[in-house]
């Protein structure tokens, strides 16, 4: 749920990176953080376990500039991907404006991708969102790995809603900003409709 | 779908003024009002040395987790949290089921005083937020983004 502040002329939107464990959600945010100028970003927060697995969420505030005199701010969050952190995932989806679903391209993670996407749909529904209506972008990550599944297979399995999809290698940054730009655009287009 | 939070000048001034008064009366270092989704709404006091954006996001995460715990326990919510540090302490409370009031204080104040003042101010803030919600629902105001073009959006990413 975006927050429009007429007083400070700001608009804040929340984007959540969702996906199975170890698919690269945190790596996406880390890359964005490392490549964004200090003036456009705030501190990145990672609430992680000692083994650097996301425990609750990662958070990165970004300023994108102005639209019609309003400062446009995006708050990027990741969810913990591991199956047993479902209660935390539900909390982080509260007030979401747009979702990036990060899929792990490795063939052996196909089932985990599918399960996580189903989980996203269910958790959105619990927050009274409809996966068919919310701005959603898919990212097929880890394209550099030799066991990456063909894009057509990933697309057929996961992109049944025909949303924008991007190939990525988050460790090198390939596809990371393209994904972010697309979801940000979709969120702003949704705001234009003013129906949210 | 959850309704959108909109803040107007008048309400923003009133909320800030409640924060300022609370800060004075509770002898607090700083006061913050945060949306449950982690957006900072207002602040007052010694906020310069604090990363307000991070604070807002972490407090919202904490309140969300506490809300989840409350649900597990069959409670509607745990409306107040208190964190005691060596020097600074945090008093966090949910106001109007919608926003979070954070008071940072040190040894110049006390938990009792903060609780007392927070209670009084919470009522005022509840009224303001109820009015604000009614106003944004009633106005049916067109989004300030209704007129933006694809070009406007593209420009954001052209730098």
Q: What is the pLDDT of residue B1?
A: 46
Which tokens in the block code for residue B87?
Answer: 């020097």
For an interface test with A, the pick among B145, B152, B154, B156 (most A C-beta atoms closer than 10 Å) comes out as B145
Least confident of A38-42, B93-97, B133-137: B133-137
Q: Is A149 exposed, middle or buried (0-12, 13-18, 19+ CB in 10 A)?
A: buried
pLDDT band at A147 (very low <50, low <70, confident <90, very high): very high
Which tokens in the block code for residue B137?
Answer: 């629902």
pLDDT > 70? residue B139: no
Mean pLDDT of A177-196: 86
Nearest to B5 among A1, A45, A128 (CB): A1
Task: Mark yes or no for CB contact A194/B143 under 8 Å.
Answer: yes
CA distance A192 to chain B (A): 4
Task: Mark yes or no for CB contact A64/B4 under 8 Å.
Answer: no
Beta partners for residue A157, in sequence order:
none
CB atoms within 10 A of CB B49: 7
* Ordered domains of chain B (ranges, CATH): 9-157 (3.30.450.30)
Task: Mark yes or no for CB contact B65/A91 under 8 Å.
Answer: yes
Q: What is the pLDDT of residue B151?
A: 83
Q: Which residue of chain B comes nearest to A87, CA vs CA?
A: B68
A19-33 pLDDT, tens per residue?
999 999 999 999 999
Domains in chain A: boundaries: 3-195
Q: Which residue of chain A comes nearest to B64, CA vs CA?
A: A91
Mean pLDDT of B100-111: 97
Task: Mark yes or no for CB contact A1/B145 under 8 Å.
Answer: no
pLDDT > 80? residue A167: yes
Query: pLDDT: is B6 or A139 the higher one?
Result: A139
Q: Angle at the Cα of A41 (from A39 to A42), degrees rounded to 5?
A: 110
pLDDT > 70? residue B66: yes
Helix axes A25-35, A176-193, angle to 10 degrees: 90
Q: Do residues B6 and B87 touch, judged by C-beta distance below 8 A?
A: no
Task: Mark yes or no for CB contact B4/A57 under 8 Å.
Answer: no
Task: Mark yes or no for CB contact A127/B2 under 8 Å.
Answer: yes
Give the ipTM.
Answer: 0.85
Query: pLDDT: is A88 or B137 the higher one?
Result: A88
Residue among A66, A43, A65, A2 nearest B39 (CA):
A2
Q: What is the pLDDT of residue B153?
A: 81
Q: What is the pLDDT of residue B141?
A: 60
Distance CA A132, CA A130 (A): 5
CA distance A96 to chain B (A): 8
In chain A, which residues have their Cβ closer than 8 Å to the Cβ of B1? 128-129, 196
Collapsed DSSP state (helix, strand, coil) of residue B139:
helix
Task: Mark yes or no for CB contact A194/B53 under 8 Å.
Answer: no
Task: Mark yes or no for CB contact A75/B7 under 8 Å.
Answer: no
- The topology (CATH level 3) of A3-195 is Rossmann fold (3.40.50)
Q: Which residue of chain A comes nearest to B146, CA vs CA?
A: A192
pLDDT > 60? residue A195: no
Q: What is the pLDDT of residue B146?
A: 78
Alpha helices in B82-156 (DSSP H): 111-139, 150-156
Distance CA B57, CA A43 (A): 11
pLDDT band at B3 (very low <50, low <70, confident <90, very high): low
Q: Look over chain A and give the mean of its residue pLDDT values, rounded to a whole number.
A: 94
């Amino acid at each position: 749920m975006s927050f429009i502040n007429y007083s400070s002329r700001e608009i804040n939107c929340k984007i959540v990176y969702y996906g199975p464990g170890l698919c690269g959600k945190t790596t996406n945010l880390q890359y964005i953080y490392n490549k964004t100028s200090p003036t456009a970003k705030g501190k990145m927060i990672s609430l992680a376990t000692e083994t650097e697995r996301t425990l609750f969420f990662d958070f990165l505030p970004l300023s994108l500039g102005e639209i019609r005199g309003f400062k446009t701010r995006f708050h990027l969050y990741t969810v913990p991907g591991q199956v047993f952190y479902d209660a935390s995932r539900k909390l982080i989806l509260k007030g979401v404006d747009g979702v990036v679903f990060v899929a792990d391209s490795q063939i052996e993670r196909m089932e985990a991708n599918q399960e996580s996407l189903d989980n996203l749909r269910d958790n959105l529904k619990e927050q009274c969102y409809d996966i068919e209506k919310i701005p959603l972008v898919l990212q097929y990550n880890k394209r550099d790995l030799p066991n990456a599944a063909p894009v057509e297979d990933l697309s057929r399995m996961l992109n049944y809603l025909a949303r924008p999809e991007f190939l990525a290698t988050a460790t090198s940054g390939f596809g990371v900003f393209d994904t972010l730009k697309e979801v940000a655009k979709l969120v702003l287009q949704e705001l234009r409709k003013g129906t949210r | 779908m959850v309704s959108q939070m909109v803040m107007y000048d008048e309400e923003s001034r009133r909320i800030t003024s409640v924060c300022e008064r609370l800060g004075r009366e509770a002898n607090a270092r700083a006061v913050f009002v945060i949306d449950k989704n982690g957006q900072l709404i207002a602040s007052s006091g010694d906020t310069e040395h604090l990363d307000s954006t991070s604070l807002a996001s972490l407090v919202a995460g904490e309140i969300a987790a506490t809300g989840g715990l409350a649900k597990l326990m069959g409670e509607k919510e745990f409306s107040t949290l208190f964190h005691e540090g060596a020097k600074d302490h945090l008093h966090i409370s949910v106001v109007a089921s919608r926003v979070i009031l954070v008071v940072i204080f040190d040894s110049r104040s006390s938990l009792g005083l903060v609780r007392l003042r927070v209670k009084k101010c919470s009522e005022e803030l509840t009224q303001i937020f109820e009015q604000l919600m009614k106003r944004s629902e009633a106005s049916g105001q067109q989004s300030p983004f209704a007129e933006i073009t694809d070009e406007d959006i593209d420009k954001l990413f052209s730098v």
